[in-house]
Amino acid sequence: MKKTALLIALAFFSLTAYAQTVPDITAAYAGMKFRVPGSPLIVGSIGANNDILLIKYSDSVGKRYISFSTENTLEAGDCGWTEFFEATLSAKEIYGCDRASVESFKSVFVQGTDSGTWKIANRAYYYFLSAQDPSFVFFQSKDGNLIKLESDFLDSDGFRAILAGS
């Protein structure tokens, strides 16, 4: 009798634990695959010039979202993206990129954030994480486009989990 009760209790707790874990889903963007949290409420895409993939986890406007967008129009100050992001993350005052472009980017994305570079699978990801505002990760896609990954709820581990599948 005790074994049966123990087996039933163990099965119940196992099923409860399984039901509470939501598996990740695969999102495809810019020829790459990413593992995003499962059970989104809305998934939308705007192609053409905007080229945005939006994944929402809340009914509230502007809350709990993940978005991917192509940012090829980012003003990089006459530099390549790698050099530009290295300049924005550097404490140096002298760099090869246009100073106004670097300072403008710093004022919007760097100030008040935890920022740096992650190297994952031979790719550089430039992150700008905020506790109060949306957080951003910029990286170059396989086809050479600059991609911006944005979320208002992911932390460092959440972003890294998404990017690990790319």
- 123 near 139, Cβ under 8 Å? yes
Global pTM reads: 0.83
Dihedral angle at the C-alpha atoms of 48, 82, 79, 93, nearest 10 degrees? 130
The answer to the question of residue 14 being in a domain is: no
The answer to the question of residue 112 being in a domain is: yes
Dihedral angle at the C-alpha atoms of 61, 26, 36, 113, nearest 10 degrees? -100
3-class SS of residue 64: coil
61 pLDDT higher than 50: yes
The answer to the question of residue 153 being in a domain is: yes
The answer to the question of residue 8 being in a domain is: no
Domain that holds residue 118: 23-164
- State the Rg of the chain over Cα: 20
What's the domain count of the chain? 1
The answer to the question of residue 9 being in a domain is: no
Q: What is the pLDDT of residue 1?
A: 46
Q: What is the mean pLDDT of the chain?
A: 85
Q: What is the pLDDT of residue 50?
A: 66
Where do we find the tokens 């790719």? 123
Q: Letter for the amino acid at 40?
A: P
C-alpha span between 55 and 39 (Å, rounded)? 10
High-pLDDT (> 70) share of the chain, %: 84
Distance between the two ends of the chain, CA-based, in angstroms? Answer: 51
The answer to the question of residue 13 being in a domain is: no
Read off the pLDDT of residues 5-28 as tens digits, 9 standing for 90 and up: 333 433 444 444 444 466 899 999
State phi, psi for 124 to the nearest 5 degrees.
-95, 135
Read off the pLDDT of residues 26-41 as tens digits, 9 standing for 90 and up: 999 998 999 999 999 9
Read off the pLDDT of residues 89-117 as tens digits, 9 standing for 90 and up: 988 776 788 889 999 999 999 999 999 99
Confidence of residue 77 (pLDDT cuts 50, 70, 90): confident
